[in-house]
Amino acid sequence: MTTLRVVLDGVGEQASSVGRYGLQLAQAMHATAPRGIDVVAFAAGSDAEARAHVTTTLERLDGVEFARMPRRELREAWLHSFSTTAFDGLLHGSSLLAPMRGDDREAGRQVVVTVHGLEALERDSRTARWFRRALRRAWKHADAVVVPTHATAARLQELHDLGDRIRVVGAGVDPASVVPADADARATRLGLPARYLLATTDRGRRARADRLVATVASGAMPDLPIVVAGPVAWGDVTLAQMAVEAGLPPSRIVPLGELDAADRAVVVSRADALLLVGEELGFALPMLEAFAHGTPVVHPSTAASDEIAAEASLAVTLTGDDSDPDRLAHALAHLVEHDDLRARLALLGQDRARAFDWTTTASQLWRLHADL
């Protein structure tokens, strides 16, 4: 019996966008697995509550394994070819977090990793330094590198000549993102306003929260509450604190924190629009989810995000200066003021979402492993 291990990254009770991708990917790979292949998830060590959450989410898989060490230590160990776990068979990293060694091919191991984007290369931080080194290891040792868009593939190829080892394989719309029958009760419990704009935050992306608050504080911003789904604190800094420092009234931002799939479907489907403030969207799961629910999306225009959206969104050209929040706010105001534009983008988004399906994604990845 052959085993495919999907290495998860950023999972737990508060999964990052990379974590959500990994969880959905693992489920899709299991659902489409060829006969004779088990699919097992592997994650860094964590507390009992986080382990239980991951295990419950992936209960249909053939197994869920956890490392003996937490994520930070595991990242460094694998970066230096140290491992306390023996791997064989097929290994599919949902990020660059994967054990890559020079003897993988000789030992019969097959390693595929995933690069969500290259935004980290523009920063100078511990995470950015790790990313650069992990990327170089992937260039040296990985059998294939999966990326979400041709734009990302082109940028990656400029950095490291991976040849035909780069594969462009998009993600899918979360199959669990279905508006439940008790949507009204959930909306009441969450305290959703009658009309609102939706924004998302992510773990480890404090800069995006800064831009979000600056956009909401712009004089061009439409007079609607901003519901925020995702983390509400980064270290000692909270979203509420940032809003107060920006001079925003308490009612302007409605932080919901982390949401389960059903609550998220309710929140996304009822929003007038979704605002994404980051240039690097990776596999753009929030965008795809909004598209599927007919919710228009406003986001910065980049080659990668525009490739995924395919003109089904309102893409905003940013200049990298203090005017960027105003530009995003003006775009939102324009969208809110024009019902015909919202209706057109809703239809285009729903049509575009049909091009992203986890079954198709998993089938393409199984084909990749077979080709290797």
Tens digits of residue pLDDT in 22-47: 999 999 999 999 999 999 999 999 88
Is there a domain that residue 328 lies in? yes
The answer on 17 and 149 residing in a single domain is yes
Tens of pLDDT, residue by residue over 267-323, are 999 999 999 999 888 999 999 999 999 999 999 999 999 999 999 999 999 998 999
The answer on 196 and 343 residing in a single domain is yes
* Residues 315, 319, 324: CA angle, nearest 5 degrees: 70
- Which whole number is the average pLDDT over 241-260? 92
Could you tell me if 240 and 212 are in contact, meaning their C-beta atoms sit under 8 angstroms apart?
A: no
Tens of pLDDT, residue by residue over 72-98, are 999 999 998 877 676 888 999 999 999
Tens of pLDDT, residue by residue over 206-223, are 788 899 999 999 999 999
The answer on 167 and 21 residing in a single domain is yes
CA 131 to chain centroid, in Å, comes to 16
Could you tell me if 301 and 311 are in contact, meaning their C-beta atoms sit under 8 angstroms apart?
A: no
Is there a domain that residue 208 lies in? yes
- Which whole number is the average pLDDT over 4-16? 85
Could you tell me if 197 and 282 are in contact, meaning their C-beta atoms sit under 8 angstroms apart?
A: no
pTM exceeds 0.85, yes or no: yes
**In sequence order, what are the residues at sequence separation of 6 or more whose Cβ sits closer than 8 angstroms to the Cβ of residue 83?**
77, 99
- Which whole number is the average pLDDT over 232-250? 89
Write down the pLDDT at residue 206: 78
Is there a domain that residue 177 lies in? no
Q: Residue 107 above 60 pLDDT?
A: no
Is there a domain that residue 74 lies in? yes
Does the CA dihedral 225-354-306-121 come out positive or negative?
Answer: positive
The answer on 253 and 114 residing in a single domain is no
Write down the mean pLDDT value for the chain. Answer: 93
The answer on 205 and 249 residing in a single domain is yes
The answer on 338 and 308 residing in a single domain is yes
Where residue 103 falls among pLDDT bands split at 50, 70, 90?
low
Where residue 104 falls among pLDDT bands split at 50, 70, 90?
low
Count Cβ neighbours within 10 Å for each residue of 258-294 and write b for 16 or more, e otherwise.
bbebbbbbbbbbbbbbbbbbbbbbbbbbbbbbbbbbb
Phi and psi dihedrals of 2, rounded to 5?
-90, 145
Where residue 13 falls among pLDDT bands split at 50, 70, 90?
low
Q: How far apart are the first and last CA of the chain?
A: 18
Q: Are strands 233-234 and 226-229 parallel, antiparallel or unpaired?
A: unpaired
**3-class DSSP state for residue 248?**
coil
**3-class DSSP state for residue 100?**
coil
The answer on 216 and 119 residing in a single domain is no
Per-residue CA distances from 175 to 170, 190, 223, 281 (Å)? 15, 22, 33, 20
The answer on 268 and 245 residing in a single domain is yes
The answer on 367 and 346 residing in a single domain is no
Tens of pLDDT, residue by residue over 134-170, are 999 999 999 999 999 999 999 999 999 999 999 999 9
The answer on 240 and 194 residing in a single domain is yes
- Which whole number is the average pLDDT over 237-243? 90
The answer on 136 and 86 residing in a single domain is yes
- Per the structure, the complete domain to which residue 226 belongs is given by 183-353
- Which whole number is the average pLDDT over 263-270? 98
119: left (phi over 0), alpha (psi -120 to 50) or beta: alpha
Is there a domain that residue 224 lies in? yes
Write down the pLDDT at residue 7: 97
Is there a domain that residue 104 lies in? yes
Could you tell me if 315 and 332 are in contact, meaning their C-beta atoms sit under 8 angstroms apart?
A: no
- Which whole number is the average pLDDT over 338-343? 98
Is there a domain that residue 229 lies in? yes
How many structural domains compose the chain?
2
As given in the structure block, the two tokens for residue 36 are 């004779």
The answer on 365 and 327 residing in a single domain is no
Q: What angle separates helix 285-292 from helix 339-353, to the nearest 10 degrees?
A: 110
Is there a domain that residue 136 lies in? yes
CATH of the domain at 245: 3.40.50.2000
Alpha helices by DSSP H, the chain: 17-31, 48-57, 71-79, 126-141, 150-159, 183-190, 206-216, 239-245, 261-270, 285-292, 303-309, 324-337, 339-353, 358-371
CA 250, CA 54: separation in Å to the nearest integer? 34
As given in the structure block, the two tokens for residue 261 are 């799939």
